[in-house]
C-alpha cells in the first residue's frame, strides 16, 4: 500500500510542478515538456533519478522526466555492454516500446476521427 501512496504523491508532485510552471511563468506546455524530459535525463545521468524511481515506482517513471531517465539509463547500460556504439543504440532500445505505442495510437486516432478545427 505504501508504494501506491508514494507513486501517487511523487507523480502528483511532478504534475503540480508542471502545472505551476505553465500557470505562473510564460512557459508553454511544449517548453515544460522539453524541460521535464531534459531534467529527467540530467538527473538520471547524475544518478539522482534512480533513487526516486526506486521509491515511487510508476509515479516517477510514467511522467515526462521518466522518459528522459529511460533515454539516459538505456544509453549508459548499452555503453557498458557494447562500448561507444551504445551511444546510438541505447536510447532507442530503452524507449522503443513507448515510442512505437505513441506512433501506432496516434495513427489509429488520426484514421478513426476527424479534427474539429
Each residue's pLDDT, cut to its tens digit, for the chain (117 residues) gives 899 999 999 999 999 999 999 999 999 999 999 999 999 999 999 999 999 999 999 999 989 999 999 999 999 999 999 999 999 899 989 999 989 999 999 999 999 998 787
pTM value > 0.85: no
Beta strands in 1-117 (DSSP E): none
- How far apart CA 59 and CA 50 sit, in angstroms, is 12
Yes or no: say if 35 and 21 are a contact pair by the CB < 8 Å rule.
yes
Amino acid at each position: 500500500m505504501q508504494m501506491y501512496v508514494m507513486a501517487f504523491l511523487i507523480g502528483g508532485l511532478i504534475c503540480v510542478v508542471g502545472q505551476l510552471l505553465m500557470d505562473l511563468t510564460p512557459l508553454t506546455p511544449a517548453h515544460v515538456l522539453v524541460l521535464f524530459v531534459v531534467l529527467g535525463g540530467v538527473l538520471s545521468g547524475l544518478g539522482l533519478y534512480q533513487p526516486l524511481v526506486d521509491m515511487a515506482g510508476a509515479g516517477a517513471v510514467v511522467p515526462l522526466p521518466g522518459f528522459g531517465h529511460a533515454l539516459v539509463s538505456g544509453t549508459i547500460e548499452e555503453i557498458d555492454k557494447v562500448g561507444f556504439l551504445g551511444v546510438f543504440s541505447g536510447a532507442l532500445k530503452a524507449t522503443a516500446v513507448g515510442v512505437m505505442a505513441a506512433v501506432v495510437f496516434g495513427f489509429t486516432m488520426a484514421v478513426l476521427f476527424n479534427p474539429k478545427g
